[in-house]
Structure 1
């Protein structure tokens, strides 16, 4: 089988998308957790306010997912992306201003969530439209690898940079954001407004498959919340392992998340987004089940790598699958709905799992539930689509 190769033009467009995701969803969402201990220790905000700022980011992401298509229909997609990158960059520098308190932090974390969602929804369609079908899996993989790169980079560097103070750390994030935004601005292809009306008949034969994909992606949102909230806590407090080992697991999670989209993008270009998405969900479910079933450090580390290597690819594969099902013209509309469902189920998982833990104090129970939800939604997706793979679209 002949595999299409990137031209320099194709590669730079994919890198531009990866740079946009590096800013909006990498630095904007995952750059904050390593800063929480630093800003709390400095007394900039209380622990409660720091976590409320994190919650504000989730609410901002939900709002951004809701309004993304509306904005892109009234403005050009390119303008939405560039505005989101500029505002995200400003948000980092604003948090570095001396005397910035809880309300300032919560406001800018909320804004950062909005910009992250805008980029998440409109950028993949732009990149895939400019790519030949045989390149789209790898191109979307590069987009999501930008998030993983930011996760790994901030997880390793911010605790060290933060020794000079939280303001320095925020400024470093702002500079990284500005640099990546310049790359996106230079190489992102032009894109006009999204169509305001549905194209007649577009994707109608795949409505069952699209519903199945939506359910599977919602299940993924539920499942992903568990390791991002409980993984390190389970290892350190639940199993009485060292903080260093817990931090090492999170770094392994982040590094595998940076590499995973590239691997699964290759697979998607060979077998299609639909089958690749099912396989990837299955691997993640195995990683969650393994975490629930063992307390051996080596196996737990392996489980963290499995989960990390599938967490970001599942977003990339679901986005590509949506493009297969409805066509790239309607991709942003369908992807917006999936992203809203993902956000709602991720938030629900946080509350449900916290409630379960308060009653049963069992980490394995929570990880087993996540594995079961993910496996169950895979079966539902297969059933609703009749096991079919959507045709590739030019």
Structure 2
């Protein structure tokens, strides 16, 4: 999933240069991916997949590899958008169906490390994709269509990952339990607040997550800074859930979620306010340290608020997240094209994250009380 969702970011500058894509064009392609993610999240919330989660999750990962390959075969904005839409659909299915299996198995086994490893995998994919793009750039002597080679290499990496997942993913009782039809989702005030703030977070994080490497290239003398910025993002993301888990005994899951929003907002400000080449490095590190963790704990809190309908809660929260992701690149691309930089859209995203943190802080007591009530049932 790290390749399927986020390798677009390090490959994007090469595509923009090679195909003369504008920031608005890049935003359209990114938003198409997130529209697909939203559609997949909504579809996954219904009961049609019960008992087939494993098979559908593996098919989604296989589709991800094929669609990465397809990106290197086109030069059309429309085709790119369709491919990324389908890739977003596959990402949502993989996220919801496979997370349900893995996190459910970990919960029943009492293995607290499962969530950290599971979500940390996305960060590893980000870091490896950055290294892959940089190494291919160093090896490319002709300078022609290097971005196509990036997509082809990403497809091979995703296919290799699929083989490993197919061997390791549990069978049997997990699929059997998936046949239990969930109860209708009960929309309590805490769950509404978490879904709303999770959607706002989708808008806040996605602008930097989409355009960080492009911003780094605008002010860098060579590709080293953009490579390091996205590599730091991935490595920080891989470690983030493990590191933040150390703070949970002190602040609780909701408190860590709130602090993460504040730290990420600070990282966005740093991305456009600090001098080059420090800005993208600090911004990337703070983005990586927070966005996977916020995703993980946001979904964990949502599941805890709806223990009778965990998959539906995951689906609706992911859908809200998807709406924020769709709007973010469109707004950022249009503003960047008009103003000539990503400063204004990035600061706007930071303000959204601050508002998100404010709402969470005001409702924190109710959310914690509701979680405690569900645990005591």
Could you tell me how far 1:254 is from its partner in structure 2? 2.5
1:173 matched to 2:154? The reply is yes
Of 156, 175, 200, 1:191 maps to 175
Q: Is the 8 A contact 1:138 1:269 kept in 2?
A: no
1:248 matched to 2:228? The reply is yes
Could you tell me how far 1:59 is from its partner in structure 2? 2.5
Could you tell me how far 1:81 is from its partner in structure 2? 0.9
- SS of the aligned residue for 1:191 comes to helix
The residue that corresponds to 1:34 in the other structure is 10
Q: Is the 8 A contact 1:140 1:265 kept in 2?
A: no
- SS of the aligned residue for 2:175 comes to coil
Q: Is the 8 A contact 1:35 1:159 kept in 2?
A: no
Of 105, 108, 126, 1:151 maps to 126
Q: Is the 8 A contact 2:128 2:231 kept in 1?
A: no
Of 294, 311, 331, 2:310 maps to 331
Distance 1:293 1:101 in 2: 35
Distance 1:234 1:318 in 2: 28
When residues 254 and 120 of structure 1 are mapped into structure 2, their CA distance, relative to the original with a 3 A threshold, is same
Distance 1:60 1:261 in 2: 26
Could you tell me how far 1:227 is from its partner in structure 2? 1.5
The residue that corresponds to 1:376 in the other structure is 355
Cα distance per residue 1:2-22 (max 9 Å; x no partner)? xxxxxxxxxxxxxxxxxxxxx
The residue that corresponds to 2:267 in the other structure is 287
- SS of the aligned residue for 1:343 comes to helix
The residue that corresponds to 2:188 in the other structure is 207
State the TM-score, normalized to the length of structure 1: 0.77
Of 89, 94, 101, 1:126 maps to 101
- Aligned pairs for 1:1-394 (under 5 A) are 25-36=1-12, 47=21, 53-70=29-46, 72-73=48-49, 76-94=52-70, 102=76, 105-132=80-107, 138-161=113-136, 163=140, 169-189=150-170, 190-192=174-176, 193=178, 195-198=180-183, 207-237=188-218, 240-243=219-222, 244-268=224-248, 272-295=252-275, 297-298=277-278, 301-327=281-307, 329-357=308-336, 363-386=342-365, 388-389=367-368, 390-391=371-372, 393=375
Q: Is the 8 A contact 2:31 2:327 kept in 1?
A: no
When residues 112 and 219 of structure 1 are mapped into structure 2, their CA distance, relative to the original with a 3 A threshold, is same
Q: Is the 8 A contact 2:30 2:329 kept in 1?
A: no
Q: Is the 8 A contact 2:271 2:280 kept in 1?
A: yes
When residues 275 and 362 of structure 1 are mapped into structure 2, their CA distance, relative to the original with a 3 A threshold, is same
Of 151-160 and 171-180, more deviation after overlay is shown by 171-180
Distance 2:201 2:148 in 1: 35
Distance 1:38 1:353 in 2: 19
Distance 2:103 2:320 in 1: 22
Q: Is the 8 A contact 1:208 1:385 kept in 2?
A: no
- SS of the aligned residue for 2:309 comes to helix
Distance 2:175 2:249 in 1: 24
Distance 1:245 1:318 in 2: 31
Cα distance per residue 1:73-96 (max 9 Å; x no partner)? 455211221221222233344556
When residues 307 and 171 of structure 1 are mapped into structure 2, their CA distance, relative to the original with a 3 A threshold, is closer
How many aligned positions are there? 359
Distance 2:335 2:80 in 1: 30
When residues 115 and 297 of structure 1 are mapped into structure 2, their CA distance, relative to the original with a 3 A threshold, is same
Could you tell me how far 1:232 is from its partner in structure 2? 4.2
Distance 1:135 1:269 in 2: 17
Q: Alpha carbon RMSD of aligned pairs, Å?
A: 3.5
Cα distance per residue 1:341-364 (max 9 Å; x no partner)? 112122222333445556666754
- SS of the aligned residue for 1:131 comes to helix
Of 372-381 and 240-249, more deviation after overlay is shown by 240-249
Cα distance per residue 1:309-363 (max 9 Å; x no partner)? 1112111111111121112x52221111111111212222233344555666675
Q: Is the 8 A contact 1:137 1:266 kept in 2?
A: no
Of 367-376 and 141-150, more deviation after overlay is shown by 367-376
Could you tell me how far 1:278 is from its partner in structure 2? 1.5
Distance 2:270 2:71 in 1: 39
